[in-house]
Chains A and B, each alone.
Chain A
Amino acid sequence: MNFNDFGIDIASLAGSLETRLAAARQSGFTQVMISASDIVGHPSSTAAAVRAIRESGLRVTGIEALRDFEGLSGKMHDYKIDVAKSMLALCSQIGGRLLLVEASASVHADADADKIARDLRKLAILALPMGIRIAFKGLSWSRTVKNFTGAAEIVSLANCPNLGLAIDAFDVIAADTPLDDLDLIFPQQIVLVQLSDFMLQEIRSTEEQVATAAHFRVFPGEGAHSGQLAKFIVKLEGIGYFGDYSFDVYNSDYLQMPAEVIADRARRAADWLGETVLRRTLPVPNMERLTIRGER
């Protein structure tokens, strides 16, 4: 296995930014997903947060999350463009190369596919000079795009090289999405895969899914759907996905436990996936680039 393919979302961990970065590092992680609020909410300053991340030696998987962005018009659109620019600037400052964008749940969002694609394309062009990719994720409670197949259609329509898909295993399992739907996706379109499980056997309503997504996720191997999660990952590898995996475990209980304990649980999840599920080929020494040349 290649442990470097896995990252932890520091929103899974309690404590100060520095504590969480140290816990991730101590557990052996080399990359972390960062929330914009962790940077601007630093008790000293944004600059201190940027410095802490840069000095941690950890690679930034990406920054999250731009929400309710697409489908707006007039001043609301301009306002969201300003928010997006701020997040892109933060992402660039911490050396990040990816911005996670979650499909809009705003009642003001126009659900017209061409409009959404146009807005995402604009965002991608804004991100382009900084070398940042946009990872667009469907949400089951979104008004515009509810799942990865819908997100893939928008990404194809927008057709911009630095605009791709984020797929969250939680959404796939909670919605019981057929894995064969992944056959419709070009693997090059996927720029981030987020992994988490949950304890409930099934989720009955959108409200329950929203609550579970925000508070009751667990690490892969700890939940009720390890088999489904394993099949999902094997399927992703089967279609040719070769990018990063990020554990996005939002769990209110974990935020009452020491960061290093939770980071170790994440490490066990990575070990389980790497040793029993994934079995990826190790990269050739000194050839750390894992993307396929000319894939775009």
Chain B
Amino acid sequence: MSNATDRESLPESTNPIGMDGIEFIEITTSKPQALGGVLERMGFHPIARHRSREVELYRQGAMNIVVNSQAADIPRTVEPIERPILSALAFRVRDADAAFRRALELGGWEIPIRAQALELNIPGIHGVGESLIYFIDRYDEFSIFDIDFRAIPGVDPNPPAICGLDFFGIVQYVGVDRTGDWSEFYAQLFGFQVIPDDVRFGIMPRGLLMRSPCCKFYLQLIEPDGAAQFAPMEEHLQRIGFATPDVIGATGVLEKRGIEFLATEKVHTSERGALTKPLLGGVMFELVHAPADHTSARP
């Protein structure tokens, strides 16, 4: 494999599952066309459809977003409703089965196999709320999308990214006093590490920031504060962050495509980052100026 050299340079302790970025992020909704419209305005293109499930692949540069509208068939997973919900993260790893078995050994909660005949069985565990975390090791010579998906005819399978947009990370809302629990979860099962409080990216600095062992992906854990502490809230994945070397340029292009960004006194577009207004009842995307060591998710 092409990343053999990188693998050897990462000792087991710092990258226990050989993580290598994000293969896809899944969003579930009962209105896939409405979400597809938003994703297209954000610069994504529909590329392929799943062979047996109501699932569609959108791509932009190195980023894959999977739109799922299949009814939930296993417990503790997202049932499609109109409002889109971030429902799964797929981690690229050195050996999916080894990463999966290691996670189970440490207390991960496995999801049952649901692949149809001749489809890939993608191992995964339960994450926050009803979300899932998949482990994928086929992403360089050929990918899961080559097997389980049928390409949409006449479509460029590798559309370029707007201003170098790439996955930066995910924001997860956690309950009161739950940051310690979740940072333990991500550290223990995947080798994420907490970043010092004085290192911050983007314009939304609250919470605890963790970096993946491959240094390609970030998690931001945010507890409710003020009156929100007393409101009922289910823990969940809240928004996707995109990295770009040119936030101002990217927001300019996206605004022309019909995406609106928050412009309040506290939250407004700057060279550091930007945040879209909520779309379709709550979907938000954040743009973050890429740190110098942020590299593309592609191997």
Instruction: Point out residues on A near B: beta carbons under 8 Å.
Output: 85, 121-126, 128-129, 131, 160-162, 286, 288-289, 291, 293, 295-296
Nearest chain-B residue to A286 (Cβ)? B230
Residue among B109, B128, B129, B188 with the most chain A CB within 10 A? B109
Asked if B141 is at the interface of the complex by the 8 Å CB criterion, the answer is no
Q: Would you list the 5 A-B pairs with minimal beta carbon distance, nearest first?
A: A125-B107, A122-B107, A161-B180, A296-B180, A126-B107
Give Cα distance in the complex from A288 to B176, angstroms.
13
Known pairs A162-B181, A289-B176, A296-B177; A122 contacts B106 (CB<8 A) = yes
Distance to closest chain A CB from B231 (angstroms): 13
Chain B residues within an 8 Å CB radius of A293: 177
Pick 17 A–B contacts, CB within 8 A, sort by A: A123-B107, A125-B106, A125-B185, A125-B189, A126-B107, A126-B108, A128-B107, A129-B127, A129-B128, A131-B175, A131-B178, A131-B181, A160-B188, A162-B184, A288-B230, A293-B177, A296-B177
Asked if B235 is at the interface of the complex by the 8 Å CB criterion, the answer is yes
Chain B residues within an 8 Å CB radius of A128: 107, 181-182, 184-185
Which residues from 167 to 186 on chain B have a C-beta closer than 8 Å to any C-beta of chain A?
175-178, 180-182, 184-185
A160 touches B109 (CB 8 A): no
B177 touches A291 (CB 8 A): yes
Known pairs A161-B180, A296-B177; A289 contacts B229 (CB<8 A) = yes
Give Cα distance in the complex from A123 to B176, angstroms.
21
Distance to closest chain B CB from A86 (angstroms): 12
Distance to closest chain A CB from B84 (angstroms): 21
Known pairs A85-B109, A131-B235, A289-B229; A125 contacts B177 (CB<8 A) = no
Give Cα distance in the complex from A131 to B108, angstroms.
14
B185 touches A129 (CB 8 A): yes
Chain A residues within an 8 Å CB radius of B127: 129
Chain A residues within an 8 Å CB radius of B109: 85, 126, 129
Over the window 201-243 of chain B, the binary record of Cβ atoms lying under 8 Å from chain A Cβ atoms (1 yes, 0 no) is: 0000000000000000000000000000110000100000000
Chain B residues within an 8 Å CB radius of A296: 177, 180
B229 touches A161 (CB 8 A): no
Chain B residues within an 8 Å CB radius of A121: 106-107
Residue among A160, A161, A286, A295 with the most chain B CB within 10 A? A161
Chain B residues within an 8 Å CB radius of A161: 180-181, 184
Give Cα distance in the complex from A129 to B178, angstroms.
10
Give Cα distance in the complex from A2 to B109, angstroms.
38
Give Cα distance in the complex from A293 to B223, angstroms.
12
Nearest chain-A residue to B182 (Cβ)? A128
B176 touches A125 (CB 8 A): no
Asked if B126 is at the interface of the complex by the 8 Å CB criterion, the answer is yes
Distance to closest chain A CB from B257 (angstroms): 36
Asked if B8 is at the interface of the complex by the 8 Å CB criterion, the answer is no
Chain A residues within an 8 Å CB radius of B182: 128
Give Cα distance in the complex from A162 to B188, angstroms.
13
Give Cα distance in the complex from A123 to B230, angstroms.
28
Chain B residues within an 8 Å CB radius of A85: 109
